[in-house]
Amino acid sequence: MRLAPRDLNAFVRRNRLRVERQLLLIRELIREPRDMGMLFPSSSALADEMAGALSPHMMRSGAFIEIGAGTGPVTEALLRRGLPPERMIVVEKSPVLADCLSKSFPNVRVLCCGAEEMRDYIGGSFRARAVISSLPFRSLPAEAGSSIMSEIEAVLEPGGLYVQFTYALIGEMPHVPPIFRKVRSRFVMYNIPPAKVEVFRKPKWREAPRDCEVG
């Protein structure tokens, strides 16, 4: 089978981009191994499973935050699913990767900061309909993990979704607030290594304190 010159150009461009992104990830992995927590970019199957947690109905309004976007495979999947770029905020701690994301997604607001401080940038009263996270909670120091999770809980609107992937196929996701309810858990075999995507919902109402209970 012979490729037409136009197809060949597109093929070369796509693969050059893939290699460039892989090299960026390796560089960052050498610099900050605990922050990266992975060797390969997320596959499109994994990225699509993460994006698929958002229903077309919930995407009709509100804001969405992606954290730990790396080189952007999940960002790409969210946009492919129809999320308007102007309602997305992407948070990435590595300046090199944040710069790569800004160039790849010029219409998306990219914040170069730690997820634990994102409300300092977007405002304390900001609420998101969903937080989609590729953060490697299992390799981050426990203290950092729990402060990021408090930030996620604070930024989510009541009833909002928290979507997280992990390479740990068994066991529970660390740091998830006990009031969150797990609503979905799916394996993704087409990824190196295979992964699991879990979706949690923040409750719509806070439980009333015990002394407020009506008898």
Ligand X SMILES: C[S@@+](CC[C@H](N)C(=O)[O-])C[C@H]1O[C@@H](n2cnc3c(N)ncnc32)[C@H](O)[C@@H]1O
Interface contacts to ligand X, rule CB under 6 A: 35-38, 41-42, 67-68, 70-71, 73-74, 91-94, 97, 114-116, 134-136, 148
Q: Looking at beta carbons only, is 91 or 161 nearer to ligand X?
A: 91
Q: Least distance from C-beta 114 to ligand X, angstroms?
A: 4
Closer of 73 and 160 to ligand X (Cβ): 73
Q: Which residue's CB is nearer to ligand X, number 50 or number 59?
A: 50
Give the three-state DSSP class for 169: coil
CA–CA separation, 142 and 24 (whole Å): 26
Phi, psi values for residue 90, rounded to 5°:
-115, 130
From 118, 113, 112, 21, select the one nearest 65 (Cα to Cα).
118
Q: To which H or E segment does residue 58 belong?
A: none
Which residue number places its CB atom closest to ligand X?
Answer: 70
How do 128-133 and 88-91 pair as beta strands? unpaired
**Could you tell me how many residues make up the chain?**
215
Q: Smallest distance, Å, CB 96 to ligand X?
A: 9
Residue 147 CB, shortest distance to ligand X, in Å, is: 9
Least separation in angstroms between residue 212's CB and ligand X is 36
| Terminal-to-terminal C-alpha distance of the chain | 77
| Closer residue to ligand X, CB minimum distance, 169 or 214 | 169
**Minimal distance in Å, beta carbon 74 to ligand X?**
5
Which residue, 59 or 166, is less far from ligand X as judged by CB?
A: 166
Distance (Å, whole) CA 74 – CA 66:
8
Helix%, strand%, coil% for the chain, nearest 5? 40, 20, 40
